Structure 1
Amino acid sequence: MKSIEEVFEAFKGKTVLVVGDVVVDYYLRGNVSKISKEAPVPVLTLEKRERRLGGAANVAMNIRALGATPILCSVVGDDPDGEAFEQLLEYEKMPNKGIIRSQNRVTTTKLRITSGLQHLIRVDNEDVHPLVDLDQKSLLHHIKNLLDECDLVIFEDYDKGTINPKVIKETIKLANEKNIPIAVDPKRRNFTKYQGVSIFKVNIADLKDGLDIEFDALEEKELSDAASKLKASVNADNYLITLSKNGIFYDSGKESGKLKSHPRQIVEVLGAGDTVISIAGLCLTLGLPIEFIAELANIGGGMVCEMAGVVPIDKEMLFKEAKENPILGKYL
């Protein structure tokens, strides 16, 4: 790759299989002007209703926003919210060939009620038990059939039950046989099950939870020790640890480092991890250096925090900022 333009152009030729827990995000937005007489709670005057694709589906939205082609592989309920999910896929012109409708589950939903930029409450409806055998077999069947179309697999794990050790092991085996790289965004339940992947990306909170450790990410020695514990627990080619407002840590075995975050007007931090794993995964398919991968993902993750709700990256904004970035410029 000789330029940022070539990198972004190359994204267009990639197809990504996104395996994980999908969500329908509902939003009720309005303003609070009084307290209820019935109970000491705010009364929201409703101004806007929204529904969006969330969870692993937001990763797919990011992949598409970057110019590549996503294929979602997941299990939703055979219920009205499952129907809503497929309607959103159709509206976004994304394929549903990897989606299984199951009578054994409910579709995961998150309802956020906000006044301006203030969150008042979030209501979750979910079923987090592991897949029944029939649904697991169907999911693995879809993964096996879809892999030949793909240049990358992303596991987006929200601990909602779609992903389990067998799904992980079988998918990694199949992908490795086809030399397809794998990027992972894990949660606690399956944290150490992702062995032999290409990129293991985790945020500070999930790293502490996944390994049952405590450390101060601002202390270089403590961060380095935590990274060493991660490498001892999970075998991966590359590691990314997102540090919230403090940037990102990367380690490829051959090189490691910490990159600072960029100044932002933070609105919400929803969905930043989805953007990071999407950018990192696509860069991986192009054989780009780990510092480049980390910095472009670092820029994108911060950028979406300037927007309200769970939203994918704006490709043009990312491109504009990437062109001026001195770290990326070192490699192109």
Structure 2
Amino acid sequence: MQKELLKITESFPFSRIAVVGDCMLDRYIKGKVRRISPEAPVPVIEVNEEKSVPGGAANVASNIKALKANCILISLTGEDKRGQELISILEKKGIDTGGILIKKNFRTIEKIRIVAEHQQVARVDREEKFQADRSLLKELLKKIEKAAQDGAEAVIFSDYGKGIFNSLTIKEMMSFCGKIKLPVFVDPKVEHFKLYKNAACITPNTSEAFGGMRETVKYDQFSAQKLGEKIVKELSLSSLIITQSENGMTLFDNFSKKMKISHLPAKAREVFDVTGAGDTVISALAVAFSRSKDMLKSAMIANHAAAVAVSKLGTAEVSLDELKEDIKLWEKP
């Protein structure tokens, strides 16, 4: 299997994926705890590093590019310094930002994480509530159509619940992608879960899967399997992956209309941070499937990518070389 998976990864540079979703700027302030503040019972952090990285849908795009695949990001930023900084970072990575809509009345989302001794101490969010309307939907559909015309083989909907996705936009975008035969991969929010009918694949974690289907059954492997079968049937999905943290992931492959269920155990290693791991999974999955059209092998590759991602601190990118090394380490020749 090692040889087959590596062969798929060799073709990643020929892949082109569109990403639609809520993008944001993730800022990290890192330092050491020197003492407790006399003003309040909180640590005083001596800052020694600050960095900004793409977050949300922009992190998905970054993960795709790190795998040496091609990517166009379709999203929204404000006409502000944070938006300019985010676009600049993406362009330096070689990501196509032609799909980003820049709006005067929108404030670019920023999440600031304060980290000390490899532990997140606090997070500060800068964002304003908004909901995409029909006017914005038309612009997004035009960008999706252009991406498909330019060779996109699949599209990822990166739903962070920040306004781009709602009942109106999801229904119209899913319908449009179906008409132009563009496979849709979705990382769903619980409140939108049942709207992603006919997707090529959705990748919820256990909590999102149970919450999205309004299930209250206590989690175990058996109930998760039954739930997965129910989700695929009710949402008419071609496939479903339920990620289960240290328990790995379960694939429900329905492309042949004959359900095949495969559990992929997690690759054992020390877990530092799960931030952005879901982005890594869906990025590797979509790229691998666009080249192989084999969901099981694509899921195996995504499982390796996830293992590398959680071993890193912060919003993670997994390089193609790191992915290949992990496959060589764990898969039999």
Within 5 Å, which residues of 2 pair with 1:30-109?
30-109=31-110
Q: Secondary structure at the match of 1:112?
A: strand
- Alignment partner, residue 226 of structure 2: 225
CA distance in 2, matches of 1:127, 1:233: 34
| Farther off after superposition, 43-52 or 74-83 | 74-83
CA distance in 2, matches of 1:229, 1:103: 43
| Farther off after superposition, 281-290 or 296-305 | 281-290
Distance 1:257 1:172, change over 3 A: same
Q: Does 1:167 pair with 2:162?
A: no
Within 5 Å, which residues of 2 pair with 1:217-256?
217=219, 219-253=220-254, 254-256=259-261
- Alignment partner, residue 19 of structure 2: 18
TM-score w.r.t. length of structure 2:
0.92
Maintained 8 Å contact 1:215/1:223 = no
Amino acid at match of 2:264: L
Distance 1:229 1:182, change over 3 A: same
TM-score w.r.t. length of structure 1:
0.92
Amino acid at match of 1:203: N
CA distance in 2, matches of 1:115, 1:71: 34
Maintained 8 Å contact 2:15/2:291 = no
Q: Secondary structure at the match of 1:310?
A: coil
Maintained 8 Å contact 1:26/1:50 = yes
Shift of 1:324: 4.6
CA distance in 2, matches of 1:216, 1:297: 27
CA distance in 2, matches of 1:39, 1:206: 37
Maintained 8 Å contact 1:27/1:51 = yes
CA distance in 2, matches of 1:45, 1:303: 29
| Farther off after superposition, 14-23 or 79-88 | 79-88
- Alignment partner, residue 177 of structure 1: 179
CA distance in 1, matches of 2:162, 2:292: 32
Shift of 1:17: 0.5
| Residues 240-268 of structure 1 deviation map (CA, whole Å, 9 limit, x = unaligned) | 00000001001113310212111111111
Maintained 8 Å contact 1:75/1:139 = no
Shift of 1:233: 3.5
| Residues 6-64 of structure 1 deviation map (CA, whole Å, 9 limit, x = unaligned) | 31121111111100010100011001110111112111111111100011111111111
Amino acid at match of 1:161: G
Amino acid at match of 1:268: D
Instruction: List, as ranges, runs of 4+ consecutive aligned residues in structure 1 with deviation greater than 3 Å.
Output: 1-5, 214-217, 323-327
CA distance in 1, matches of 2:246, 2:124: 27
Distance 1:277 1:306, change over 3 A: same
Shift of 1:80: 2.1
Shift of 1:127: 2.5
Amino acid at match of 1:16: I
Q: Secondary structure at the match of 2:31?
A: strand
Shift of 1:141: 2.1
CA distance in 2, matches of 1:255, 1:5: 23
- Alignment partner, residue 273 of structure 1: 278
Maintained 8 Å contact 2:114/2:122 = yes
- Alignment partner, residue 302 of structure 1: 307
CA distance in 2, matches of 1:86, 1:321: 31
Maintained 8 Å contact 1:216/1:223 = no
Question: Which of these residues, 239, 263, 268, is aligned with residue 268 of structure 2?
Answer: 263
Shift of 1:107: 1.1
Distance 1:174 1:106, change over 3 A: same
| Farther off after superposition, 46-55 or 133-142 | 133-142
User: Kindly, what percent of the aligned residue pairs are identical?
Assistant: 30
Distance 1:110 1:239, change over 3 A: same
Question: Which of these residues, 137, 153, 172, is aligned with residue 151 of structure 1?
Answer: 153
CA distance in 1, matches of 2:110, 2:203: 24
